[in-house]
């Protein structure tokens, strides 16, 4: 029996190019990975988890929504990334429209949570905005207005 090496979330972030925050949100909200927990309750990731997060990151960078691909199999993700590398990704216009729709939906959800004085829901909306839009776009298109 071989012992499988585990990685901490900081190491995984460095290896995948994702932020620690994005990894946690993708885990919690989308079930993208299910790390094991150490005795001190810290997340520990396998090589398969790291590879899955790499593929998810590549696919989202190519314009795919994490919400739509988070539960895809490794084979499906590899195929999606291969197709993306060959130009079979959403067009720039459709990505822009999708981004604008996502921003509008997030704004609406944030306003509703604020009107209800629901801080937990507002925090969830802000987490989604950070992951879906990325930090610069979130600040420019979501927080600033």
Mind listing the pLDDT tens digit for each residue in 3-20?
Answer: 568 999 999 999 998 889
**CA angle 57-134-86, nearest 5°?**
40
**CA angle 97-100-102, nearest 5°?**
110
Residue 27: the pLDDT is: 94
Instruction: Tell me the mean pLDDT in the region 116-120.
Output: 89
- Phi then psi for residue 71, to 5 deg, are -100, 5
The confidence band for 144, taking pLDDT boundaries of 50, 70 and 90, is confident
Are 77 and 69 spatial neighbours (Cβ–Cβ below 8 Å)?
yes
Where in the chain are the domains? 9-85, 92-143
- CATH fold group of domain 9-85: Multidrug-efflux Transporter Regulator; Chain: A; Domain 2 (1.10.1660)
Q: State the greatest distance between any 2 C-alpha atoms of the chain, in Å, as a whole number.
A: 56
Residue 138's nearest CA partner among 10, 15, 19, 56 is: 19
- Residue 93: Cβ within 10 Å count: 8
Mind listing the pLDDT tens digit for each residue in 40-83?
Answer: 999 999 999 999 999 999 888 888 888 889 999 999 999 988 88
């Amino acid at each position: 029996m071989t012992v499988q090496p585990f990685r901490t979330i900081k190491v995984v972030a460095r290896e995948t190019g994702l932020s620690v925050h994005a990894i946690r949100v993708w885990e919690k909200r989308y079930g993208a990975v299910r790390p094991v927990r150490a005795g001190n309750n810290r997340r520990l990731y396998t090589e398969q988890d790291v590879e899955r997060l790499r593929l998810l990151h590549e696919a989202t960078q190519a314009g795919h929504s994490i919400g739509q691909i988070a539960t895809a199999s490794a084979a499906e993700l590899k195929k999606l990334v291969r197709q993306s590398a060959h130009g079979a990704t959403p067009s720039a216009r459709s990505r822009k429209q999708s981004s604008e729709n996502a921003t509008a939906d997030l704004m609406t959800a944030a306003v509703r949570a604020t009107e209800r004085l629901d801080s937990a829901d507002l925090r969830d909306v802000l987490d989604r905005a950070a992951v879906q839009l990325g930090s610069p776009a979130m600040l420019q298109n979501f927080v600033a207005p």
